[in-house]
Each structure stands twice: as structure tokens, then as C-alpha cells.
Amino acid sequence: MAALARFTFDLDMADRPAHAMSSKPDLPPQPVGIPEDVVARLVQEAREEGYAAGLVAGESNATSLATQTIAAAAGTLAAHAAGMSANLDLARIDNQREAIGLALSVGRKLAGHLISSRPTAELEALIAECMPSLAGVPHLVIRCNSELADQIRDIATAQIATSGYAGRLVVMGEPDIRLGDGRLEWVDGGLVRDSETLDAEIDRTISDYLAALSGNAGAHETKESGE
């Protein structure tokens, strides 16, 4: 059996330097801090850059919105203008139609009064117009209203006497012929005064004119709508 070692109390318990007793490891040096004025300047610069970027973006958005608003307003204005133009054209055509109708009505009434006051004037003008072309014609037939037969005969006889016409004159009164109307007939020609035919021609001319106006107005409206 091994012998036990004797504890001799030979340890040195004297005071020793503190650094000898403490053997703590060395810590790394603390980082150097950024000065507060530098931090404040960097923050201010970042704010200014952000504000400038936001201002540019805002101006761009505002410009785009303004452009869109102006374009929409222009389109709306153009549509309203086209509608107003079309309405004005239609109103103008309606006014012209009414004015023409009124003028035509007045003209027909005036013509009726003139014929009543001078029923032979139109036929007298026709006789004077045809006399120069009747040389060598064997006979001239004049058809008129029965009430005017005698007056037309006298008028034609007077004109024949001064024109040199040597043919035969025949005046025939017909009750179906309107007062003031009549026909002059010879072998190879003739002249006609028919108030009913004249009225129909006038109505057709006016209708064609108004139809042309309406067509032009419709084409103009279609063109503006297409634009």
C-alpha cells in the first residue's frame, strides 16, 4: 500500500500584484463613432434628395393628368360643337324651307291676281314670240279658255297684220283650259302655256334644292362624327 503524502503547508500566501492574480483576456478596441454633425448632414441630404425625387414625380403625374384632362375636355367640346353645328344646319334648312314655302305661296297668289286682272297677257306674249317663225305656215291654231276666245282672236289678228303672216288663223275656246293658259299649234311646231305643269316644275325644283341642302348637312355631320 502506498504511503500518503504529507501536507507541509509550504504555499506562499504573500500579497502579489493584481495583474498577476487576474489573467482576463484582452478585448478588441471599441469602434470609433460618427460625429453627430455628420449624421445630421447625411440625414438632411437624404431628405432633400427624397423631396426632389417626389417633386419630379409629382410634376410628371400632374402634367400627365392635365394632358388627359385637356384631351378629354377637347373631345367633349368637339362632340358638343358637332352636335350644335348639325342642329344649326337643320334649323337653317327648316327656316329656308319655311321661307321658300311662304314665298311660293305669296308668288302663286300674286300670279293668280295678275292673271285675273290681265288674263290674256301670257297668250299675247306667246303669239308675239311665234310670229317671226310662221313664214310659209298655212295655218295657226290657238287654243284657249272659252271666255277669252274673242279677245285672243282680236289680239292675234292685230299681230298678224303687222307681222306679214299670210296663213289662216283658227282660235278655239275650250272650257277645260285654265284662264291664262293656252296652246299655239302649227304644222311643224307649237308653244304651250300650262300653269299646272309650271307649278309642278317649280315644286320639283324646290324639293331638289331642299334635298341637296339636307344631304350636304348630313354628310357634314357624318364627317364631323368620324373625326
Residue-wise pLDDT tens digits, 34-81:
677 777 777 777 777 776 767 676 666 667 767 777 777 776 766 666
Which residue's entry shows cell 308653244? 191
Do 129 and 97 meet the contact criterion of CB atoms below 8 Å apart? no
- Who's near 211: CB < 8 A, 6+ residues apart? none
For 79, half-sphere exposure in the C-beta direction (CA atoms, 13 angstrom radius) is 6
> How far is the C-alpha of 227 from the C-alpha of 223, rounded, in Å?
6
**C-alpha cell read off for 225:** 362624327
> How far is the C-alpha of 184 from the C-alpha of 141, rounded, in Å?
6
Tell me the one-letter amino acid at 151: Q
Helix (H) or strand (E) holding 227: none
Confidence of residue 20 (pLDDT cuts 50, 70, 90): very low
DSSP letters, 47-95, are HHHHHHHHHHHHHHHHHHHHHHHHHHHHHHHHHHHHHHHHHHHHHHHHH
What mean pLDDT is predicted for residues 189-197?
92
Percent of the chain with pLDDT over 90: 30
